[in-house]
Structure 1
Amino acid sequence: MVDHLLKVVKRDVGMYVHKFAVDLGGILVETLHSVSGLAYGQDVVEVKQVSSDGEPTIRKQPGAAQSGQITITRGMDRSEALTNWVKETQATHNHAGALQNISVVFLDSSNNVVKRIQLLNAWVSSRSAPDLAADGSGPAIETVQIEFDDMVIE
């Protein structure tokens, strides 16, 4: 019985931080280097009252959800999905047309989806082009910051 439990525990190693993808409206963004800033926040409202016997009380309760921001770092390539989304937001200043629900997807060793984090009403707020150097030999890396209104973990 114990041997069987140990085998189950050994096989379930959890999620890997190096196996992930960004789903941009059904299109996977290629050549990702990193995704950072996956965080959710909520305001905390402090309510101060006096009880019926005159004792002050302080209670905390949830307030409004906070919007968030992630940063995607990726190698520049010929993939047009992310580039076109950046253009839609910044070149044409079409904020309403650029809003998309995107997902950060965690994958297992067989590339099956283990967990999905949806970022609702996401849009690109900034993009940094790679640094260029004549003596450089590394890949051209760009950074894209994405704002979102809400996060849903599936």
Structure 2
Amino acid sequence: MAEGDALSTHIFGIQLGGYMVESIQEVSGLTMEEDVVEVKQVTPDGKLLIRKQPGARQAGEVTITRGMDKSTEFTKWVKETLENGQVDSARQNLTIEVKDAAGETVRRIQLMQGWASKWEGPSLKAGESSAATETVTITFEEIVIE
């Protein structure tokens, strides 16, 4: 891949703790934000001066859409917080690896201390032939882009 070329493929993988999460269809909501602190002052000649500066980095949320399958590890992890209320033991670091067309990792995005805060099941409709998917919202404390 030549320098300056944007990735034209959507090849990626997600590691949760020590294992790969299967059947991922989409990852959305990857953002990094920080507060903006506005400071208002008055100059010696009485004019209002407004300065903006960076504040604290914000925690975030990401949404993962995956096919419902027989994989149990990811489901166990989701249940750890949503059914059992065990947020402290469920906190895991997630790594999203973006790959090029040759399958080489070109960027890693790490979500630190993540836990499942929302699960949404599939839309079920008689006669429909689309795949059953589940959507999981993961709340994390810090994002690190490598």
Unmatched runs of 5 consecutive residues or more in structure 1:
1-7
Aligned counterpart, 1:5: none
1:12-66 deviation line (CA, Å, top 9, x unaligned): 6332451111111121111111000001111100001112333321110111111
How many residues get paired? Answer: 146
Aligned counterpart, 1:20: 12
The counterpart of 1:71, out of the listed 44, 55, 63, is 63
SS of residue in 1 equivalent to 2:15: strand
Moved more, 139-148 or 11-20: 11-20
Matched, 1:139 2:134: no
Q: Residues of 1 paired with 2:80 and 2:12: CA distance?
A: 25
The counterpart of 2:77, out of the listed 64, 69, 85, is 85
Q: Residues of 2 paired with 1:28 and 1:35: CA distance?
A: 14
Q: Which has the higher helix share?
A: 1
Q: Residues of 2 paired with 1:15 and 1:68: CA distance?
A: 24
Matched, 1:34 2:29: no
Judge conservation of contact 2:13–2:20 (CA < 8 Å) in 1.
yes
Q: Residues of 2 paired with 1:106 and 1:59: CA distance?
A: 37
Judge conservation of contact 2:9–2:101 (CA < 8 Å) in 1.
no
The TM-score with structure 2 as length reference comes to 0.91
Which has the larger Rg? 1
Aligned counterpart, 1:152: 144
Judge conservation of contact 2:9–2:100 (CA < 8 Å) in 1.
no
Identical positions, percent: 47
SS of residue in 2 equivalent to 1:111: coil
Unmatched runs of 5 consecutive residues or more in structure 2:
none
Task: Give the residue type in structure 2 aligned to 1:119.
Answer: L
Q: Residues of 1 paired with 2:37 and 2:119: CA distance?
A: 35
